[in-house]
Structures are given as C-alpha cells and as structure tokens.
Structure 1
Amino acid sequence: LLKLPLRPVSRVLAPHLTRAYAKVVKFGADARVLMLQGVDILADAVAVTTGPKRRTVIIEQSWGSRKVTKDGVTVAKSIDLKDKYKTIGAKLVQDIANNTNEEAGDGTTTATTATVSANGDKEIGNIISDSMKKVGRKDVSTVKDGKTLNDELESIEGMKFDRGCIYPYFINTSKGQKCEFQDAYVLLSEKKISSVQSIVPALENASAHCNPLVIIAEDIDGEALSTLVLNRLKVGLQVVAVKAPGFGDHRKNQLKDIAVATGDAAFGEEGLTLNLEDVIVTKDMLLNGKSDKAQIEKCIQEITEQLDVTTSEYEKEKPNEQLAKLSDGVAVLKVGGTSDVEMNEKKDRVTDALNATRAAVEEGIVLEGGCALLRCIPALDSLTPANEDPKIGIEIIKSTQNSTYAKFLKTEVVVTEIPKEEKDPGMGAMGGGMGGGMF
C-alpha cells in the first residue's frame, strides 16, 4: 500500500467541504395540489369516525397489536404519508385536531356526545353521569384499564396519592397487605429524615396520647428507619413511614395540600403534626382528616387563580389534580373488556364522552351533526366585506359550514335536504328522521 501524506485543509474551505442536504422547493399549483391531496386523505379517514353510526378504524402500529378506535384525533395523529408534500398538508390538519383536542378535549369529530346518549352504550353514559354527581362540576375523573369484563366506577373520598409503606414490616393487617389506623397523628416533612432525634418529639407526642403515628417525608432511612422498624416489631409501636408524593415544587404543594385537607393550614420547614380520622396505606395511601372548610376554600381559590393564568395543558394537569383532591374527590372510571384491543377502543370512546360531558357542563350544548355551524351562515350573509379578499374568505367559511353537515349525512348513509332556517330541525341519525338532537 502506498501511504500518501495528509495535507492540511484551509480553515476557509473547511465549512464548504461538509455535506449539506438540499431542500426541494415547489411553487404554485404543483405544491398546492399535493398538499390538498394530503388534507383530503386525512379528512376522509377522520370523517368516517363522525356521527353515532360512525365506523371503526384499525391502525397498524410499529409495535404491539393493531389499534382499533373510533376517535377522530387518534386517527389523525396516526396518519403519516410517503410523499413529503402530502404529509405537509396532512400535518396542517393534524395541528388543527391537536389544538382542538387540547383546548376542549373533544370536537375533533362532531358526534362524541352520541357515545353517551345514542351509540348503543348507555352503560358508559350512566357511569359518567354518576361520576359527575359524586365528584361535582369540576369532575376530575381518570380513565383506567379495569380488571373485569364490566365497566366500574370507583369514587375516592379523602385524599389519595400513589405512595405506600417504605418497609413491609409496617403492615398491620394481613388481609389485603395494608396498614390501617384510626385517630392517627401525621408528621409531614419536606426533608429526608435520617436521624431518630428529629422524630422523637412526634413519637413522644403520639405515645402520650395513645395515637398511631404516620410519617410522610421526602425519604426515611438510616438510624431513623431502623429504629422505627425495631420498635414496631419489638414493642408494637403503631407507626408507618411513607415517602412524600411528587418531586420538587410539586412535592411541596402536595404536602401543603395534605396539611390543609387534614386540618392544619400551617406549613413549616421542618414539619408539623396533624390529627386524622382514618388512614389506610397499601400500595397507595388514603387519608381522611378533620379539615377546616375555610382553609380548604382559600386553597382552592389560589389553585383556581393559578389555572386561570396557565395556558399549557401539561401545566394544568397537576393543579387540576390538587383541585379535585381538595374539593369533591376523584372518580376513577375502570373500563372492562375481554381483550386489550377492546378495552383500548372503549377507553377512547369513554375519554371522548367524558370530555364532551365536561364541555357541556362548563359551556353548554348545541345542535349535533354540524347543525350549529349551519345556523352561523345567516350571520355570515349579513356581513358587508370591504373588498374582494374578505368576500372570498367569507365564502370559504360558508362552504366549510355546509361540508360538516354533508359529511355527517354521508357517514350515516342518509340523503336529505340540508336545513337552512333556524326553525328547521337537525337530523337524528340514530332514529333515521329529522329531530332536534343536541351536541
């Protein structure tokens, strides 16, 4: 082999020798046609999920089993086209669907309320109705996989969070593997507890009043943990140690909420001791305390004000959970089924219906199937555009108002005249006739 000498590359030329990927640029009709095809492909796929007689869509996934769904936003998110320009058009519609889903949690298709009222699954409607009654208008409900064939509603009273016993020796009830106390004291600390001296005052206070003690802290280890376990086993000390839920500022807020919900609004750096009626510790923890309603209302007001100025859905999630735990509790909708595919499909429908019900409670209802959009056309006709450009925009909006209703009828395989007047009824697709349905 011939060894060639390496020559230094000029610093001026070096940037130009790196490989760059070119951008393909299209103008005019060529670009518009391809983008419109992408929009049409996505719109046609989502349109079949419209209405109470909506069709099921099966989505191939890169891993796991195929996903079966009737949820419009799930279908929209799953579409990825081979042609880049068609993909750009499809992504534009996906962004619209995502924004609608984040803002309202529903509305990506036009008949989700029918999942509750007319899609042949009245059990879902009844469960959602029961959850609204139990946890109030705020309705902080979560949807989870059930362990049976039937749908179930679990209502959580008190304050529950996903932390359990630090050590299994704290368990005092063999049935259900849980630790259960009544009239217990609670020590809250946002710091790690390693020294037994830091918890001696709380232990002495609880022992003097013959009350159990629940310690909730960032962590408990070392001398403190070994002393608690030894006293639990040797002398039957009624105590349990639990890690505080959350991380960082969220953990501090959680501890503050626990303090308020269990009867004391004060929150110190080291900790405080509270009195509870009932405590149940399994893999989760449930507290039921003697709370001060005025302090709870004050805390709820602070969280509500925080939600009013927050725009991100992610940032709203934790405050909403806090609000539910402090106000009316949390409802868990457990979706049952014979297989994972069936449960996932039903979970999509339940989530859609739950969000539609929340939206109806907060902002009211309108006629279903695009009828509400049709009622906007007279208002558009009354506008006087200043020039040709606004006029074209108005005509585009009017055509889209008609298209939603037309798509709805096509999905239901119905041919009828589109109602133009306010007095004209909407189309009741399930009954097959004209009627004043609501959405």
Structure 2
Amino acid sequence: MVTTRLHFADDARRRIVRGATQVARLVEVTLGPAARTVLIERAPAGPLVGSSGYDVALHVELVCPVEQIGAQAMRNVAWEVSDRWGDGTATVVCLAAALLQSLDRAETRGCERRALAEALDAEIDEVVAALTRSATPVMEDDDLRRVIETAAGGPDLSPLLFEAALRAGPQGYVDVVPAAESDALEVVQGLAFDGGWLSPSFAASGADRIVLENTYVVAFDGAVQSIDEIGPMLDVFVRMDQPLLFVATSFSEDAKERLGSLVRRTGAKIAAMRAPGEGDWRRFHLGDIAAATGATLFGDEGGYSLRTVRPELIGRAKKVELTAKESRFYGGAGGLPELDFRKAQIRGDIARSRYLSLDRERHEKRLALFFSGIVTLSLGGRTEPERALRIGSAQRAVQAIRAARQSGSIAGGGLALRDAGRALGNGSITGRAFEAPFRALSVNGATDATVSPRDPCNLVIDVVHRAAATAASLVSTNVAITHPRRLAN
C-alpha cells in the first residue's frame, strides 16, 4: 500500500531550504574559468564529468524526500536556463538558493507573506534596472573576446570561437559539432540545405555534382504525381535551352523516372529536388527557397497552378549546386521586401519555439542562411570526455555571443550582480543574496584567472527573474507531501 507523509510549516520549509542549499554548494564548484568538475557515477555506464550546474543538479538524489523537493526545484530552474541559453545554470542555482535563504530568514523574523512578496518584486525590479543601465553594446573586438573567454571558461578555445564569431557576423549562426580528427572551421556560403538531387540521372555520367548557372527556379508546395502536370512548362525550357531547377514537396516514382528520362533524351539543363527536411520543416525550407530566389510558391494553398506558369512567377539564382546529399543556392533574385517579410516570419517562428530548444535552434539556422550563413566549428579531444567538455564550453560561448550581441554585455564574474545587490541598501531583504555568485567565483579563483570578464545582459536578467520566481514559490510552502521511496544501494 502506498502511503503519504505530510510535513508542515517551518519544518517543511527548512528542509526544502536545506536541500536547495546542498545542491547550490555542489554546483558552485563548476562556476568560472578556474572551476572544477564533478565526477558523477552512472553505473553500469562510465562516470560522467559534470561541468555545468544542470549536469550536476540532474544527478542529485537526497535521502530526505522533503530536501529532495528543494533539490528538484534547483534542477528545474537549471534546466529552464540551460534550455533557453545553454549557459548560466550554475549561476541561477547559486542565486536561487541564496534568495531562498534570504526570504526564509525574513519570514522567520516575522515578515508578513504579502509584504515579503511585494518587497521581493520591488527589489528584483531595481536589480534588473541596474543591470540594464550598466550594459554596454558589444562593438569592439576586445568586448567580444572578453564575452567569449568568460563563457568558454578560459583562453583555450577563445581564438577559434572569436574567428567563428567574426566570420558568422552578427546575424550568422555558429554550429559546434564533434570533429573526426583535429579542430576545424568551415564557412558555408549561400543558402545551404541537407538534401540534394532527386535522382543521379540528372547529372552527367559519373559526375558527383550538378551546377546550374543563371538558373530559373520553380517551387511547388505539393506532390508531383505525373510528369503530365508539368509537361508544358518543361517543354518551354527544353526549347529555350535554359537551365531550370524544379523543387517540390515530393515526387512519385513514375514522375521521377520520366523526368530523368527527359533529361537524358534531350540533354536539357533541368534538375529536380525534393524540398529539404521532413514534415513541417519541408514546407518551411520550401518557402525559404522561394523567398530567396524570388519565386512564387505554386500549389493549392497559394492559388497558383503549375499549368499556368508565367515568367514573373518563376524565381532566379545566379548558381545552384546539387549533390546527392546537399544543395546550395547562390545569388537568389528575391527582392528586399520579400526577404524582409520572410525574415520576420522566421523571427516569429523563433519566438513561438521559445520553449522548444531544438526547434528554436533550427529556426535560428534558417534565419542565419539569409544573412552571413552558417559557420561550423568542429572540435576534437584526446579522449571522449575531453571532447565533450570542449564542445560544451564552446556551445555555451556561442550562446553568450548571440545574447551579448542582442542586449550588450555587463561586468562578469558576478560583479554586476554584486553591485546591483549592494545598491539596494543595507535594509533590503535580498541584497546580500546577489553577492553569492561573486563569492563562489572568488573561492574558485576566477578573479585571478580572468581579467575584466563580461556576461550577456539579457542572460543575467533572465537568471535573476527565474531564480527569484523559484525562491518565491518555495518560501511560500506551508505543507509538503512526500511518498516513502527506496533508494538504490
């Protein structure tokens, strides 16, 4: 029979605070460039080298079930920040636990619950305002270097990350992936997609690439079941001897075979490809291709039939390269109004995906293709754990670069938070709590290891809001309900 246990008032709250504090003390060792790692048992698998607050908090299981509630709250807020920013997880746990301790002390002294909540809201607003005022735009190379070195945890990866950030530009995207051998940096030019030609029959015998110069582009949001649907259009391009790329959502086997046969028989400069991606992503990418090349999207939804193709509805590109696995578009003829409209649509897709990190990243890559493109940074390591640590550090730095370019940077190393907390004055409830990340970084030796560190302003502000919300929800506990459980030996 499953039973429950009830833990009331001060006893419940103190145990929750104790659980949150234990996680914070464990997580603090991962803060800063001079931080240490936490070795985590994962039997029967090999141990995990924890280098971020979320990695560590995820594996904490406390014996006391009420203390575990506090630990779980720290894990949840670390996940939220990790999912949104990829960095700041140790800082948010450290700050949330410190704020919780401050609020608990105030309530123990007899501060009324409503007054405590109002005071917390007011002090958080003051801290956020102070952080915003202290932010400076990331304009110079030195500013960017300091943001990178702070987020990456030292100078090891800074030169590569700095070069990647410069080559991607403010609107570009840096993708960090494991390297097969040594570190490498690759810049993808043009509008590039995973997914190449429909069939090798469109390429010359033995060729591994199709290149269409000054090509026309037709984009069709639908399935081509028969070549008869597009026969009249193809006949025009065969007679004109003009290159054409036909992009559709899908092709039947019959349509694919007859298209290839037409190209082999006539020698026409015609190629076809299925829209990149799967499911909804296929339609996203098809729309991106249409916008970039200035093509009207044919199909039932747009109201344009392939049987009534007119020249003004066809897109253009200076060059299109197709292989079996990849396609790239260069010099698309899309006009500025259409491109701006498409970029706005993608930004809307990014905003709607704020709770889905994988979807958000894929939309951010889509947006980057309309600007500077995608820079791929491949990182290796002498061992698998070392490579994983380097990739994690680089990914945190990439997120910090993007955030700092959006909102500017503030003094890192916990300095901005400490100063904002001190500005609240001696009578504040939470002022000293904002010194917690600085104190932890000092213990780790970060103040000696990094000169003038810089953090993204909007990341730190988000950390403050999430830490405060977590602390406020926990300090209001009157009853905790737990279920007895047996821990593994």
**TM-score, with structure 1 as normaliser:** 0.77
Instruction: Give the counterpart letter for 2:234 in structure 1.
Output: L
Could you tell me which residue of structure 1 aligns to residue 233 of structure 2? 202
**Equivalent in the alignment of 1:49:** 30
Distance in structure 2 (CA, Å) of the matches to 1:172 and 1:115: 51
Partner of 1:129: 162
SS at match of 2:412: coil
Q: Distance in 2 between matches of 1:337 and 1:172?
A: 41
The offset of 1:205, in angstroms, is 2.8
Residue 46 of structure 1 contacts residue 109 of structure 1 at CA under 8 Å; is this kept in 2? yes
Find the counterpart in structure 2 of residue 300 from structure 1: 343
Match of 1:77 among 41, 51, 58: 58
For the 8 Å contact 2:296–2:315, the answer to whether it is kept is no
User: 1:275 & 1:375 partners in 2: Cα distance?
Assistant: 56
Q: Distance in 2 between matches of 1:261 and 1:66?
A: 47
Q: Which residue of 1 aligns with 2:454?
A: 438
**Structure 1 residues 259 and 335: CA distance shift in structure 2, 3 A:** same
Q: CA deviation at 1:148?
A: 2.1
**Structure 1 residue 54: Cα displacement:** 0.9
Figure out how many residues of one structure are paired with residues of the other and give that number.
388
Distance 1:117 1:96 in 2: 21
Deviation of 1:376 (Å): 1.6
Matched, 1:285 2:327: yes
The alpha carbon displacement at 1:50 in A equals: 0.9
- Given that 1:139 and 1:358 are in contact with CA atoms closer than 8 Å, whether structure 2 keeps it comes out as no
Structure 1 residues 88 and 173, CA, compared in 2 at 3 Å: closer, same or farther?
farther
What whole-Å deviation, never above 9, does each CA across 1:329-348 have from its counterpart, x for those lacking one?
Answer: 22222222334332221110
Evaluate the alpha carbon distance shift between residue 117 and residue 253 of structure 1 in structure 2; reply closer, same or farther with a 3 A threshold.
closer
Match of 1:329 in 2: 373
Change (3 A) 1:109 1:291: farther
Aligned partner of 1:156 among 188, 191, 194: 188
Matched, 1:226 2:257: yes
- The structure whose RCO (Cα within 8 Å, separation 6+) is larger is 2
2:75 matched residue in structure 1:
94
1:350/1:118 Cα in 2 relative to 1: closer, same or farther (>3 Å)? closer
1:377-421 CA-partner distances (Å, limit 9, x unpaired):
343117xxxxxxxx6xx33x2232232222112222xxxxxxxxx
> Contact conserved, 1:35 with 1:85, CA < 8 A, in 2?
yes
Deviation at 1:47, TM superposition (A): 0.9
Contact 1:106–1:112, Cα closer than 8 Å, also in 2: no
CA distance in 1 between counterparts of 2:214 and 2:246 reads: 14
Describe the shift of the 1:107–1:300 C-alpha distance in structure 2 as closer, same or farther (beyond 3 A). Answer: same
Q: Which amino acid aligns with 2:398?
A: L
Report the alpha carbon displacement of residue 256 of structure 1 after superposing the two structures with TM.
1.9
Aligned residue identity for 1:288: Y
Does the 8 Å contact 2:194/2:277 carry over to 1?
Answer: no
In structure 2, C-alpha distance between the alignment counterparts of 1:352 and 1:342, rounded to whole Å: 16
Measured after TM superposition, the shift of residue 83 of structure 1 is 4.3
Contact 1:112–1:352, Cα closer than 8 Å, also in 2: no
When residues 236 and 59 of structure 1 are mapped into structure 2, their CA distance, relative to the original with a 3 A threshold, is: farther
Secondary structure of the residue aligned to 2:88 is coil
CA separation of 1:321 and 1:306: change in aligned 2, threshold 3 A: same
Q: Offset at 1:267?
A: 4.9
- Contact (CA 8 Å) 1:140, 1:321: kept in 2 or not? yes
Q: Give per-residue Cα distances to partners, 1:90-118, cap 9 Å, x unaligned.
A: 11112222233344442224598535676
Structure 1's unaligned 5+ residue stretches are 1-19, 383-390, 413-426
Task: Write the distance in 2 (CA, Å) between the matches of 1:322 and 1:339.
Answer: 33
- Counterpart pick for 2:283 among 229, 252, 259: 252
TM-score, structure 2 normalization = 0.70
Q: Secondary structure at the match of 1:114?
A: helix
- Distance verdict in 2 for CA 1:191–1:436, change over 3 Å: closer
* SS state at 1:256 partner: helix
Which structure's residues are more often helix, by fraction? Answer: 2
Instruction: Report the RMSD for the aligned CA atoms in angstroms.
Output: 3.1
Query: What CA deviation, in whole Å up to 9, does each residue of 1:100-149 have, x standing for no partner?
Result: 3344442224598535676131xx32333333333332332222122222
State the AA in 2 paired with 1:372: A
